[in-house]
Amino acid sequence: MTASLIRTMLAASLLIALMALTGCGSRDPAAAPAKAAAADADHAEAGHDDDHDDHDAPERTTIAAAMAEQAGIRVAPVVAGTIADEHDVQGLLTPVDGRVAQVMARFPGPIRSLRANVGDRVRAGQVLASIESNLSLTTYTVTAPIGGVVLARQAQVGGVAGEGTPLFEIGDLSTLWVDLHIFGNDTQHITAGVPVTVSRMTDGVSQATTLERVLPGTATASQSTVARATLRNDDGQWRPGAAVKARIVVATTPAAQVVPLSALQTMDGKEVVFVREGETYTARAVTLGARDAGKVEVLDGLTLGEEVVVEQSYVVKADIGKAGASHEH
């Protein structure tokens, strides 16, 4: 290859390289970054709008009436009500003074028969035992001084009854006292005349009554003040000696709007209730005030008459959660 040919080939290669550089240089060097920045801005703006829409969109779901009925969802209108100042206490059931009687032998002698056992119901004047008198060697009967239930029997057939020896104990348990133990500052504002609801611990059955009196002394063992009420015992299921729970209502305060505690749920750190319109359930954030064992005052977020879910509200919350997850997907 001659030197002239080599020089020609090198010149052609250089020309091709210069053309390539010139072609690349013809593009605006700021165009690509500008377009990328514009795309990023558009994407950020679109993302911001999406977030804004998600934030402002109410959390709601639609549940057909038949499905809501099947799920046990119940609604009730927002109403005015009262909030109670309540105190939970415990106590014991005791027989009423004067309604327990001892059955005694009038004369000493052997016991020939006994006609009642513990737990039997007896009427006043009913024969309970026969005893042979050591003085007259005749048999006399012992009768029930009051009607009630046999609480104890201290005699056996063939045994000897001494004069004045108790044979039976009978109690009229148709009514009982409930002695409630009150501690600390509660003793300063619990007074006679306020309503109280007493509940059995065995089965939760409750009975409403009124606090009759606050006893003047202090229970030595517990250092509590005893407040006393009377309970009817028609079914015989309230038993002396049994522990009970009670709720004493000291005062009530009116509230413009109340809902049951069962209506409340928490979403995104806020307390909400679910308002129903037709078959649509919408989460509504609420501002709450005072509450008691069953209700809470609503200060803001609802209006009187709106229907809110008061039973199975967690079902509505779960359905809204599923709807939100589906939307995000």
Helix (H) or strand (E) holding 246: strand 243-260
Residue 130 pairs in a beta bridge with: 113, 141
Say which residue, 220 or 210, is predicted with more confidence. 210
Domains, the chain: 56-82+254-328 (2.40.420.20), 86-95+174-253 (2.40.30.170), 100-171 (2.40.50.100)
Token code pair at residue 110: 């052997």
Specify the length of the chain in residues: 329
Token code pair at residue 282: 């919408």
Alpha-helical segments (H) within 176-305: none
* Neighbour tally for 142: CB within 10 Å: 21
User: Rounded CA gap, 59 and 282, in Å?
Assistant: 6
Strand ordering across the sheet containing 139-143: 139-143, 127-132, 109-114, 160-161
* Confidence band of 8 (pLDDT split at 50, 70, 90): very low
Query: Helix, strand or coil for residue 72?
Result: coil
Residues 6+ apart with CB under 8 A from 318: none
* Confidence band of 126 (pLDDT split at 50, 70, 90): very high
Residue-wise pLDDT tens digits, 50-83: 444 444 556 999 999 999 999 999 999 999 999 9
Residues 6+ apart with CB under 8 A from 245: 88, 89, 90, 198, 199, 201
Which of the residue ranges 223-227, 300-304, 312-316 would you say has the lowest mean pLDDT? 223-227
Q: What is the pLDDT of residue 34?
A: 41
Say which residue, 36 or 106, is predicted with more confidence. 106
Q: What is the pLDDT of residue 322?
A: 82
* Neighbour tally for 75: CB within 10 Å: 17
Query: Which pTM does this prediction carry?
Result: 0.63
User: Rounded CA gap, 183 and 279, in Å?
Assistant: 50
User: Rounded CA gap, 201 and 31, in Å?
Assistant: 81
- The candidate with the shortest Cα–Cα distance to 289, out of 269, 263, 259, is 259
- The candidate with the shortest Cα–Cα distance to 153, out of 137, 139, 170, is 170
Q: What is the mean pLDDT of the chain?
A: 84
- The candidate with the shortest Cα–Cα distance to 230, out of 248, 215, 208, is 208
Token code pair at residue 146: 């009051």
State percent of the chain over pLDDT 70.
80
Q: Which residue has the tokens 């005062």?
A: 251
Torsion of CA 50, 55, 58, 62, to 10 degrees: 60
